Amino acid sequence: MKISFDALALAPAVVPMVGALLVLLVDVVLPGRARLPWVLAVLACLGGLGALVAGAVTGGHGTSLCDASGGCYWQADQTGVGLQGLALASAAVVAVLALAEKTSDVPGTKGHTAVRAMLVLAATAGCVGVVAARDLASWLVLIELATIPSVALVALRGGRQAAHGALTLLVTALVSFAVLALGAAVWFAATGTASMTGDQVLDAFADPARKPLVVLAMMLVIAGVGFKLSLAPFHAWTPEAFEGSGSWVAAFLATTSKVGALGGMLVVLRAASSLGSSALTALAVVAALSMTVGNVMAWRQDGPLRFMAWSTVAQAGWVVLPMTVVAGGSVTAAAAYLALYTIGTLAVFVVLAALEDARSREHETTIGDLRGLFRTRPMMAATLALGLLALAGLPPSIIGVVAKIVALKPVVAGGVWWLVVIALLNAVLGVAVYLRWIAAMFAPVATPAPENDDVSDEAAAVAALSGDEPELTPLPRPKKVYGVLAALVSLAVVTTSLAPNVLLALF
């Protein structure tokens, strides 16, 4: 059987993988260069982006590995290309955050820099590739390639929390793989082919003997990918892994990893949509549960990493919300919402990484540490506020409002009103959740109680009325790289808010 081959279509996934091998090779030739592996990682991600741009300029169709019958085992449409670019861009930002990290302050990182950079690139290659995979074997291998390196990234952070988070993630990853493998086996038994297209699913669904197998395969695959997308009730690993991994690893888990998970789910749901809305009812329940559980638990958090973990759970519900009905533009809406979520989340993690870098690792950042941030570090505070407002769907981050409308539009068109009501209630709850953290940056630092018992209540009242405030201890000036990244992500939020079609047109 003759298979056609288009190197440019494969390049976005191949370049990061080649970069991973190059990182290990350079580390052997030039050992002890702590920053060089991350520089190579950034260049590899940018190289993958360059391949995507080159494919668009030359009019490439994003297809490769096609046989004589016209079927292609590698295919990326406009939405897929947009997701591939999102994965590569977010991975590049994460690599820059890792480049700026104080490795000397992080136990376990010395001598592991090349390994960690290689793991990031390998996982990125998996996230990019799974979007375009159109056969069961490649899809299953690539989605695990996007997952397994993340376990090692969390573990290599070092410390008890990292070990606990890595163990939780590993157990979840193994269960997820078992569910996915079983789903793939049932899929093959039902359709008689490894191809993941709607035609084979429709033929199997029309056969009464194979119809139950098709439904079971869909449920198993959605559950398996739900683990990776942090959808409730498959989300238990998320807060533990985020808290133990540190800011930049958590940023990778929250952004690039989620792009790969959604890409993998889209491949399945494109085929499932041919069965009609009844096949997506379970996904609607999962979306509603994720939004509700994520927002309720996020409200209770005082640590930023656990807060962002539960925020990820809630936002995952919004990401899959458009795909719970069969409607035109539902896939595009899900991808566009994921892009908004990625931009807002990266804005938050850039600031959290700066806070983590400025303080000792033993100091655990809490919501109280944000008090007075708008006075001492206005640029960082503005970036954090823009990111949180984008996730909440509030002005001036207009893109957050647009994304929620785009996500709700297919559900309204499909007439699933119970899900619309739950989504709107969670939108209101989400506003309260994110505003709590924004308000902390404006809150004054509490005045310590006077040690002198002779100070009268009247004197204390006069001091309070005089407007005297305790002098703030400003956050140490962050490295320039954090300022540059903060400016870039803020510009991305502002640009997409002023012209949301710029973002929506990519998908």
Q: For residue range 446-496, list pLDDT tens digits in order.
A: 444 444 444 444 444 444 444 444 455 556 677 888 889 999 999 999 998
Percent above pLDDT 70 for the chain: 85
Domain contains 355: yes
Averaged pLDDT for residues 323-347:
87
Using the Cα atoms of residue 477, residue 381, residue 159 and residue 116 in order, give the sign of their dihedral.
negative
- Which of 134, 127, 132, 130 is CA-nearest to residue 60? 132
The dihedral region occupied by 276, where left means phi > 0, alpha psi between -120 and 50, and beta the remainder, is left
Averaged over 429-437, what is the pLDDT? Answer: 92
- In a domain, residue 483? The reply is yes
Task: Give the whole-angstrom CA distance, residue 446 versus residue 453.
Answer: 19
Residue 277 has pLDDT above 80, yes or no: no
Query: Is residue 208 included in any domain, yes or no?
Result: no
Residue 113 domain-assigned (yes or no): no
Please give the residue range of the domain that contains residue 469. 281-448+458-507
Asked if 48 and 15 touch (Cβ cutoff 8 Å), the reply is: yes
Scan for tokens 């640009």, then name that residue.
495
Q: In this structure, how many other beta carbons lie within 10 angstroms of the beta carbon of residue 413?
A: 15
149 is a domain residue = no
Q: Is residue 15 part of a domain?
A: no
Backbone phi, psi, residue 72, to 5° = -120, 135
Band of pLDDT at residue 373, cut at 50, 70 and 90:
confident
Q: To the nearest whole percent, how much of the chain has pLDDT over 90?
A: 33
- Alpha-carbon span 409 to 214, nearest angstrom: 28
> What pLDDT sits at residue 463?
42
The token pair at 91 is: 């991975």
Structural domain contains residue 273:
no
Give the Cα separation of 506 and 319 in Å (integer): 16
- Residues 167-209: tens digit of each pLDDT: 988 998 898 899 989 988 888 888 877 777 666 677 777 777 7
In this predicted structure, what is the pLDDT of residue 289? 94
Q: What is the pLDDT of residues 384-424, one digit of tens each?
A: 999 999 999 888 888 888 889 999 998 998 888 999 999 99
The upper half-sphere exposure of residue 135, i.e. CA atoms within 13 Å in the direction of its Cβ, equals: 13
pLDDT tens figures, 64-113: 777 776 677 788 888 888 999 999 999 999 999 998 886 654 544 555 88
Q: What pLDDT is attached to residue 459?
A: 44
The number of folded domains in the chain is 1
Judge whether 105 lies within some domain: no
Q: What is the pLDDT of residue 278?
A: 54
Cβ neighbourhood burial of 130 (10 Å; 0-12, 13-18, 19+): buried
Distance CA 145, CA 125 (A): 8
Distances, alpha carbon 232 to alpha carbons 60, 208, 261, 287, in Å: 38, 32, 14, 8
Most confident of 123-132, 319-328, 456-465: 123-132
Question: Does residue 195 sit in helix, strand or coil?
Answer: strand
At residue 61, the pLDDT reads: 63
315-329 exposure pattern, b = at least 16 Cβ within 10 A, e = fewer: bbbbbbbbbbbbbee
* CB 362, CB 107: distance < 8 Å: no
Question: So what's the pLDDT on residue 456?
Answer: 47
Q: How confident is the model at residue 445 (pLDDT cuts 50, 70, 90)?
A: low
Mean pLDDT, to the nearest integer, of 375-381? 85
- For residue 221, the number of C-alpha atoms closer than 13 Å in the C-beta half-sphere is 30
Question: How far is the C-alpha of 293 from the C-alpha of 272, rounded, in Å?
Answer: 26
Read off the pLDDT of each residue in 124-130 and give the average, rounded to a whole number. 93
Considering just the CA atoms, what is the radius of gyration of the chain in Å? 24
